[in-house]
Copies of this chain bind each other. A is one copy, B any other.
Amino acid sequence: MLYLALGRGAWGELLAKVKVAAIQARPVGGDFRHPGNIRHALELLDECFRMDDEVQVACFPEYFPWSGGDELARKAEDLGMYVIAGLAEEEGGALYNSCVLIGPDGAILGRQRKLNLGLMERKHFGFSPGRELHVFDTDFGRVGIGVCVDFWGPPNVGRELARMGADLIFNPSFFFIFREVWHCLLLARAVELMVPIVAVDVAEFPFRLGDKVFESCGGLSCIIGPPWRDLDDFASWWYEPKFNWILGQLGYEEGILIRELDLDLARELRGAWFSRLLGREAPWP
């Protein structure tokens, strides 16, 4: 295993299978900056643990819960769970849209600041763009975080994460427009990269922006991965391929989606996929 030395599993090796949760949270009062969001985030993590106490990593949407890193770290340690949370973080007078990865020991393993900011984020929230892309090593493999448009917009972020060895990519997002094309764009990323994707939106709520209310906002969180059981299943798929790569998805209500992903198998299938499709074992150079 390539990242053996980097993993932190109790047995000194990577856990190939990982149970992931997409927590489609609804901001309290329809407001990302509501102080009650952190409490709601903690409740949702408890709820996730009640649903399945084997969940290893839970991911919130971007901006959620906005603040409360210390409380999240304590909860992550309580539950023995990795947590990815959307926090607005200040540094040097600038505000960043960060997705923070907290380990099951409560330590902050790192943060991914959003690189590409749409007009709303610049004007309404006053965010500054991040500059660096990271991957993070966990017990179950190497993780990348493409924050909202960073991942579904320009394809270079996903490609770079794959190049850096990401076995699993999280896409914490907030769709107040564009939600209708999200799955389409994610499917394109899956075809290009063949890396499992955990894509997390907020639950639907009326998003107020100045004097305008966006009603068709939120929902549709999903988990995408190669649908094949093994290499034989993969080989026979090509005779009548169906793109049932969405392993599970939520509707518009608040909810938690849990799936188990086999990252070893996904890695094997990745090489097979590109060999077959492009005549070489990797995505584009």
Which residues of A line the B interface, CB within 8 A?
A: 116-119, 122, 129, 149, 153-157, 159, 177-178, 180-181, 184-185, 187-189, 191-192, 212, 216, 238-243, 275-279, 283-285
Contact = CB atoms under 8 A, between A and B. Distances in A.
Given A184-B187, A187-B181, A241-B177, A118 B279 contact: yes
Contacts of A189: 188
Contacts of A159: 155
A265 to B, nearest CB: 21
Contact of A129 (B178, B212, B277, B279): B279
A181 B243 contact: yes
B239 A154 contact: no
B243 A153 contact: no
A178 B241 contact: yes
A153 B191 contact: yes
Contacts of A242: 180
A153 B278 contact: yes
